[in-house]
């Protein structure tokens, strides 16, 4: 415990001391610092991607149930950036694109070096289309659209949906 008190004072902005001399180490202070540390670490480690985007669990009603961790892109800037420039994506990770109202907007793979699969879902949470998309490094890049209005889409590593038995008609839920 003594080490924690000394480290907490070592030149960093003093959280618990307002005088130039090191604070005495009291169990209450150590407990308070422990709570602060756990809060900061859990906030940083959970619920946010490395890029600062919110992360949520997605469940798909395939057989068996499929679960993955998805970054949430729900602003125009986040949706436009998508997975551009990413060199990898975890095996059970993806990015969900959420829209306020039904859209027929197309996706493209400009500057996205990872082959991806994308599933689009409607207002009822039903998957209406699944497409495979190939990386594109130079314009003109092909676009990928389901040909039907949708309110959300999720990009994953190419082949993920096939490997997990996800198909058109399955339901999507975000936790």
User: Is the domain of 106 the same as that of 154?
Assistant: yes
Round to whole Å and give the CA distance between 98 and 154: 9
pLDDT at position 17, please?
A: 34
What domain range is 151 assigned to? 55-174
Residues 38 and 104 in one domain: no
Reference 58, options 31, 94, 98, 90; nearest CA is 94
Q: Are 61 and 38 part of one and the same domain?
A: no
Among 140, 137, 130, which Cα is nearest to 164's? 130
Residues 131 and 82 in one domain: yes
Q: What is the pLDDT of residue 47?
A: 61
Q: What is the mean pLDDT of each run of 10 residues along the chain (175 residues)?
A: 27 36 45 35 46 90 96 96 95 98 97 97 98 95 97 98 98 97
Residues, the chain? 175
Contact 78, 50 (CB under 8 A): no
What domain count does the chain have? 2
Residues 89 and 131 in one domain: yes
- Supply the CATH number for residue 68's domain: 2.60.120.1140
The pair of structure tokens assigned to 90 is: 């975890």
CA 54 to chain centre: 6
Quickly count: other Cβ atoms within 10 Å of residue 39's Cβ: 10
- Residue 68: inside a domain: yes
Q: What is the pLDDT of residue 52?
A: 74
The answer to whether 156 touches 107, Cβ cutoff 8 Å, is: no
Judgement on whether residues 85 and 125 belong to the same structural domain of the protein = yes
Query: In this structure, are residues 134 and 155 in contact, taking their beta carbons and an 8 Å threshold?
Result: no
117, HSE (Cβ side, Cα atoms, 13 Å): 18
Q: Are 7 and 85 within one domain?
A: no
- Asked if residue 87 and residue 19 are part of one domain, the reply reads no
Same domain, 18 and 91: no
Q: Tell whether 50 is covered by a domain.
A: no
d(Cα 128, Cα 150) in Å, to the nearest integer? 8
DSSP-assigned beta bridge partners for residue 97: 73, 153
Which one-letter DSSP state was computed for residue 106? -
11 and 65 in a common domain: no
Q: What is the pLDDT of residue 41?
A: 33
pLDDT for the residue numbered 115: 98
Q: Is the Cβ–Cβ distance between 30 and 3 less than 8 Å?
A: no
Asked, for residue 75, whether it belongs to a domain, the answer is: yes
Token pair for residue 59? 């469940």
Q: Are 22 and 106 found together in one domain?
A: no
């Amino acid at each position: 415990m003594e080490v924690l008190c000394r480290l907490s004072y070592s030149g960093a902005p003093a959280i618990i001391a307002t005088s130039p001399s090191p604070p005495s180490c009291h169990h209450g202070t150590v407990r308070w610092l422990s709570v602060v540390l756990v809060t900061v670490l859990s906030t940083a480690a959970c619920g946010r991607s490395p890029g600062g985007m919110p992360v949520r669990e997605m469940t798909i009603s395939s057989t068996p149930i499929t679960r993955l961790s998805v970054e949430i892109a729900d602003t125009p800037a986040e949706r436009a950036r998508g997975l551009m420039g990413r060199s990898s994506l975890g095996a059970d990770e993806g990015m969900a694109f959420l829209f306020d109202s039904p859209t027929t907007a197309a996706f493209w793979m400009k500057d996205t070096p990872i082959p991806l699969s994308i599933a689009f879902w409607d207002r009822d949470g039903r998957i209406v289309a699944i497409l495979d998309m190939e990386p594109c490094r130079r314009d003109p890049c092909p676009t990928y659209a389901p040909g039907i209005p949708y309110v959300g889409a999720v990009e994953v590593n190419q082949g993920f949906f096939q490997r997990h038995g996800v198909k058109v008609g399955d339901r999507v839920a975000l936790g």
